Structure 1
Amino acid sequence: MKKVFVFLFCMLSIYSYSQQKAEKVSQGKITHPQAKNKDISTIVPLSKVEQIMRDTIPQVIYTNKEQKKVNPNDRKPIAFFLNSELVDEIAMRELNPEYIENFNITRRTDTVINNANYDGVVHIALKEGVKLNFITLNQLRDKYLRKDNLPVLFLIDGIITDVDYDTYLIDEFFVYKIFVEKMTNEKEGLSLNIVNILTKKRETIEKENEFWIRGVSTF
């Protein structure tokens, strides 16, 4: 009986001691005994993520999308040749890199082609059998989308394209899918089509689901 009493006394002592050392959980908040009623953040430093999660005031960030006007005399264009044919520099922005066999860059600020001055020349040779068909974004819209006279916001691979839709060129054969979502907010008087163009870039096709817009329909 004495041994049992001693055992129980030891167990109670250990339990009482551990209760003093252990953290207490109350209403979803973890506090240390020495913190009393203070928040645990007064003892344990918060990570950056935890600080953001606890912040009750949202950050407001304005971005200026207005591009500075460039004096034509400050920068001369680059001459691009595709299979020895001079093409617009804009067309190079959406050229599938997998179509390129090889390229050569010549840097000369005094290059004159067809009475126009260039800062250099880029010769691009395409792989055998590759065919291109450059059209503007508005031409693409007129050719493939239903006509409803709504303004259009173009995205390419999920990125907003803030350009002149009448001059921005894209290779029609490089277009994989076109997703269209009509966005309407009657109270704000807004109604437009959001057109997301997916290209045939390998990474785009592999991550196709990441570019879907909620409620889109395919054309």
Structure 2
Amino acid sequence: MARLGISKGKIVDYDEHEKRWPYERYFDSERVDLRIKRNGRRKSWEVSKLWDIHQEVIRLKTLGMKNVQIQSALGVSKGLVTCTLNSRVAQDKLMIMRGARDAETIDLAKRIKEFAPKCLDLLESVVEGVGAGTGATLGLRVRTSQDYADRAGLGAVRKFQSESVHLTVADIEKIKQRASDSRNVIIVKSEEAVADESK
């Protein structure tokens, strides 16, 4: 017995209709979407207070991990990670943490720049064999000189050369023939080669 019904003002055989459009009965274009608020924005959960798990998500994001990696590392849902990182509280915290990380990087670069002259003085004393480098062996002095020259842009030339050659079967046979003519070479043929020659 056929199941008949009315869909969009027409009489429809539901058994036949569901074979072609199985999900249409769940879709109603007249239905009000309750997910949308009156002001036009979707309802979504937002973090208002940072708990330990939220702090950990933010910390891992600051370290450069992707959302999927954070999710698997902490064993939490994708939604928790996404909602946490998109919340205003977390965005503010991320900006503070990134600013602190950038400041540390700048401080480290400044320290390296200030310390570089001391390193160069030590390298020079090792090369010259004076001061702190008095007991340096000749090998150490040579390696230090090479490192110093590399940093100055006067390093050894490193040149790589490669060639590609395409050979035909006839070319390979000529090479084999020349090799066998120049010395006593015994060429052993495989069973497949012997079978091919007999054809």
TM-score w.r.t. the length of structure 1 is: 0.22
Query: More helix by proportion, 1 or 2?
Result: 2
RCO (CA 8 Å, sep 6+): is it higher in 1 or 2?
1
Rg larger in structure: 2
